[in-house]
Amino acid sequence: MLIDTHCHLDFPQFDSDRDAVIKRAADNKVKYLVNVGSSIESSVKSRELSDRFDNIFFSVGQHPHYAEKFDKYRREPALKAQFESLFGNRKLVAIGEVGLDYYRNLSAKNSQKEIFRYFIGIARKLNLPLVVHCRESEDDTYGILKDELDDFSRVVFHCFSGTQDFFDKCFGLGAMFSFTANITYPNAVKLKDLVKEVPLDRIMLETDSPYLAPQKYRSQRNEPSYVYLVAQEIALLKNTAFDEISDVTTRNAERFFKLNG
C-alpha cells in the first residue's frame, strides 16, 4: 500500500472526474490521501472531501502566494469563525501548506513571513505537524522555523528540491522530506543524487496533484494513482525493492500524520 501525502483534489482540474480519480487511486493500492489546503477556501473544500471519503484526510493552510489575502480571516468575524471551525475536525492531520516563496513573490515577503509564523503558532497550539513550502527562500524559511521550533521533527518539506546545505541543516534538526514525480525527470540529476542520500525513514511520497506529473505522463494532469511511480523511482535510485519503499514510506506517513489514530 502507498500514501499520497500531498495532493490538491479540490482544485478545478478535477471537477469533471474527481470521484473517478479517487477510486482509481484506491484501485491502485493508494491507501490514504492527504488533501492539502492551499487557502482557507481550499481547506474548507478539503474538509468536505474528507467528510465524503474515508480514505481522505486534510490539512489547513495558506500558500505563500495568497498570504496577503489571509487578513480578512483575522479581521471579519464570520470568516474568522469559518476558519476556526476547521480545527475541530477529527480528520484534520496537519497545518499547511505554508511557508515562503520568493520565486514568484505573489505576496510581499513581509506578509509571507508574518502568515508563516502565524500558522506555525497554530500548529504548535493544536499539536499538529507542519507541511512547509519553500522556494528560493531557504535562509528565511530556516530562520523562521528555527526561531519558532525547538526541533523540526514535526515538519515535512514538501516537494523537496533544496540545496545540500539547506537539507543538511533541516535534516540535523529531524525534518522529514517528501518527494514528487519531478524526481523521474531526466534532467533532475541533483535531486536524484539527494534522494540517494536521504535515509528511508525520513522520506514520504507525494504527487502534488494536479501538478508535476511523472515523466511517463509529462505535460498531462497528475493524479494520486501515479504515486507508485515516485516509489518506483526511489526504489531504483536506492537500489531497493519497491515493497520496502512502499512499506517504510507508508509507516512514515502514518506515524507523522497519525493516520491510524
13 near 212, Cβ under 8 Å?
A: no
Judge whether residue 260 has pLDDT over 90: no
Residue 223 to residue 237: CA distance in whole angstroms:
22
Torsion of CA 167, 171, 176, 180, to 10 degrees: 20
Residue-level pLDDT at 73: 94
Which residues are 94's β-sheet partners? 59
Bridge partners, 126 (sequence order): none
Q: What percent of the chain has pLDDT over 90?
A: 98
Residue 7: CB atoms within 10 A of its CB come to: 28
Q: How far apart are CA 93 and CA 208, in angstroms?
A: 17
Mean pLDDT of 85-97: 96
**DSSP percent split of the chain into helix, strand, coil, nearest 5:** 50, 15, 30
Q: What is the pLDDT of residues 113-147, one digit of tens each?
A: 999 999 999 999 999 999 999 999 999 999 999 99
Ramachandran angles phi, psi of 171, nearest 5°: -60, -40
Cell of 68: 496577503
DSSP characters for 110-139? HHHHHHHHHHHHHHHHHT--EEEEEES-HH
Identify the domain containing residue 25 by its residue range.
2-257
Give percent of the chain above pLDDT 70. 100
pLDDT attached to residue 105: 86
* Euclidean distance between CA atoms 41 and 74, whole angstroms: 14
- 8 Å CB contact between 179 and 230: yes
Predicted local confidence at residue 135, as pLDDT: 97
Neighbouring C-beta atoms of residue 31, cutoff 10 Å:
16
Report the pLDDT value the prediction gives residue 109, as an integer from 0 to 100: 97
d(CA 37, CA 44) in angstroms, rounded, equals: 8
How many distinct structural domains can be found in the chain? 1
What's the pLDDT score for residue 261?
61
**Residue 227's CATH number:** 3.20.20.140
According to DSSP, the β-strands at 176-179 and 56-60 are: unpaired
Rounded CA separation 135/121 (Å): 21
Per-residue pLDDT tens digits for 30-70: 999 999 999 999 999 999 999 999 999 999 999 999 999 99
pLDDT per residue as tens digits for the range 141-199: 999 999 999 999 999 999 999 999 999 999 999 999 999 999 999 999 999 999 999 99
Q: Counting beta carbons within 10 angstroms of the beta carbon of residue 56, is it exposed (0 to 12), middle (13 to 18) or buried (19 or more)?
A: buried
Given phi > 0 = left and psi -120 to 50 = alpha, else beta, which region is 213? beta
Taking each helix axis from N to C terminus, what angle separates 77-85 and 40-52, rounded to the nearest 10 degrees? Answer: 40
